[in-house]
Amino acid sequence: MEISKIIEVAKDFSHERVEHAAHGLANLEAAVYNMTVDVYDQALKAQDVQYNTEATVYQIHPGANQLEVVEPQANDLPLNPNIQENAPIPDNTQLAEIIPINAATTQFPMPELHAEEQQRRVINSREDLDRFYETHNNPDYEERIPA
């Protein structure tokens, strides 16, 4: 392949990869948002509290073990009682805590769902993924990474 062609292809792939990451992040945000709402739903039901999800935001005060209705704010998520300061390092079955990174935020805009699943390429199956890692020890690996 000519150099100019390689650069062109690399640019196309780069745009595609950035899009994947952006859509992947948006889908993740949507899933975590819905999971958070579910957890609070369950917490509220367990405490037998009447509420209106459309207009009301609830907070659980850490340690207080009670729910408090607060004024609704746009795109405001309830505080997460599971967020721990200085959380212990997890074992190998849990995704590690990021250190030190941005402080955990309780706010993020409601993302759009990108329902159209793009065709998966290169790694389509568990076998492909295993192969991906089998070839990892290839000594040429570092050299072949584009600048």
Partner 1 sequence: MLQKFLNGLSVQKKMQREEELYRNLIRHEAKIGGELFGAVLEGGRREFFCLDEHTWVWHEEWIDTYGQRQSKTTRYDVRPNGILKAQDGHYQPVKLQEAQRLLQAARIYKHRIQTELYSFAS
| 3: contact with partner 1 by CB under 8 A | no
81 to 140, contacts with partner 1 by CB under 8 A? 82-83, 92-99, 101-102, 104, 113-114, 117-118, 120-123, 126, 129-130, 132-133, 136
Please enumerate in sequence order all residues whose Cβ is within 8 A of that of 3, keeping only pairs 6 or more positions apart, or say none: none
For 84, 102, 126, the CA distances from 61, given in Å and listed in that order, are: 13, 22, 43
Q: Least Å distance between CB 100 and partner 1? A: 8
ω into 100 cis (within 30 of 0): yes
Q: Does 46 bind partner 1 (CB under 8 A)?
A: no
Q: Which stretch binds partner 1 (CB under 8 A): 47-55, 58-66, 67-75, 78-86?
A: 78-86
Q: How far apart are CA 16 and CA 122, in angstroms?
A: 13
Residues 16 and 120: their CA atoms lie apart, in Å, by 11
Secondary structure (DSSP) of 54-91: TT-EEEE-TTT--EEEE---TTBPPP-TT--TTPPPP-
25 binds partner 1 (CB under 8 A): yes
Binding site for partner 1 (CB under 8 A): 1, 6, 9-11, 13-15, 17-18, 20-25, 27-32, 34-36, 38-39, 80, 82-83, 92-99, 101-102, 104, 113-114, 117-118, 120-123, 126, 129-130, 132-133, 136, 141, 144-146
